[in-house]
Each structure stands twice: as C-alpha cells, then as structure tokens.
Amino acid sequence: MRKKPMAKIVFIVAVARNGVIGSAGELPWRLPSDLRRFRATTWGRPMIMGRRTFESIGKPLPGRETIVVTRDPAFDAAGVLVARSPDAALDLAQARATAMGVDEVMVVGGSEIYAAMLPNADRIVLTEVELTPPGDATFPPLDPADWKEVSRETPDRGPKDEVEYTIRIFERA
C-alpha cells in the first residue's frame, strides 16, 4: 500500500524591511487587506502558532483548527489543541490535515516557532511590508540557496491599509 503524502508546511508571515514581525505582542502596522488574504489562505486548514501569538490574538480563529505550541504545562484554552514541542505540533497538524482532507498545514508565528520550524517549511507566503518599525519579534533570515521566489504581487493599497506591501511566495529550492 502506498503511503499517503504528507501535507505541505506553509509559513504565512508579514515582515517589515528590517525583519520585524511584531512589537510587544502586536503587529506594528495596520493592513486589513492583508489580514483578509491571511484569512482566505488559512481557512479550513490546521494552523500552528506559539502561545504568545495565540494570546495576542486572544481566541481561536474561526474556520481553522488552532494548534498552540507551549512548554507551559498549565496552559489550557478552549477550542485549541495543545502541543508541547514544535515536532509534536507538526505531527498533530499532519494528522489533523489528513482528517480534514487538506494538503497544507499553516504556520503563523511567532518568531520562535518560525525559527524552530523553518527546516520543515515547504513554502513561505511572505507579505513584505514597506516599513522599518522597531520591534521585539523578527522573522529568521532566509538562505537564498534554500529558497526560490515563485511569485510576486503588489496589490493595490486598500483604503484602510497604512502602508504599501508586496506578497512574495517562496518554495524550497
């Protein structure tokens, strides 16, 4: 019997020019158009995030299964699955993707989760934000030998978007 293929590990992230992805648990910009794209891209898929990212959102996002990675044995939140390590989260997400009938697992942050899971990533959907804000959370640098850009799009700026941005999609080389 053939083994069923594993779901692709897809990062989705918004990154400023200086690598910043967050500041004090918040996004340092307002891009409602990009948040709508985030929702559409992650909808119906398992999502992996760290505890601090989950706490900054404050609740499970509808239409997706949320897997929170935490070393805190006391952590408990209604409506989420908990994994105690990045590897456990990936195993759980793969099982959930199979059960849900989808071929992608979404990794949505934060910086420690991105860094820990980068060796497992197959694709990165990166929103390049045209700012250089201060911040305390950054995205790990990508080695150009490991990644090839497969598409780039600069959407029209929405009426409530604070800044211009470009969507770049990378796949493992």
HSE-up (13 A, CA, CB side) for residue 13:
32
The CA distance from 22 to 3, in Å, is 39
- pLDDT tens per residue across span 86-130: 999 999 999 999 999 999 999 999 999 999 999 999 999 999 999
The structure tokens 């590897």 sit at: 87
- pLDDT tens per residue across span 5-14: 699 999 999 9
> What does the pLDDT read at residue 3?
56
> What does the pLDDT read at residue 5?
67
8 A C-beta contact, residue 138 and residue 21? yes
- pLDDT tens per residue across span 66-83: 999 999 999 999 999 999
Which positions ≥6 away from 109 have C-beta within 8 Å?
13, 21, 22, 49, 50, 53, 137
Which positions ≥6 away from 122 have C-beta within 8 Å?
8, 9, 10, 171, 172
Q: Which pLDDT band holds residue 159 (cuts at 50, 70, 90)?
A: very high
CATH fold for the domain made of 8-172: Dihydrofolate Reductase, subunit A (3.40.430)
> What does the pLDDT read at residue 36?
96
Mean pLDDT score, 127-151: 97
Q: Which pLDDT band holds residue 170 (cuts at 50, 70, 90)?
A: very high
> What does the pLDDT read at residue 56?
95
pTM of the model: 0.95
Which tokens is 54 given?
A: 């989950």
Find how far residue 102's CA is from the centre of its chain. 17
Closest CA to 128 of 20, 48, 54: 20
Q: Which pLDDT band holds residue 24 (cuts at 50, 70, 90)?
A: very high
User: In the chain, what percentage of residues exceed pLDDT 90?
Assistant: 97
- Could you say which DSSP state residue 173 is in? -
> What does the pLDDT read at residue 16?
98
Could you state, in order of their start, the residue ranges of all structural domains in the chain?
8-172
Mean pLDDT score, 124-145: 97
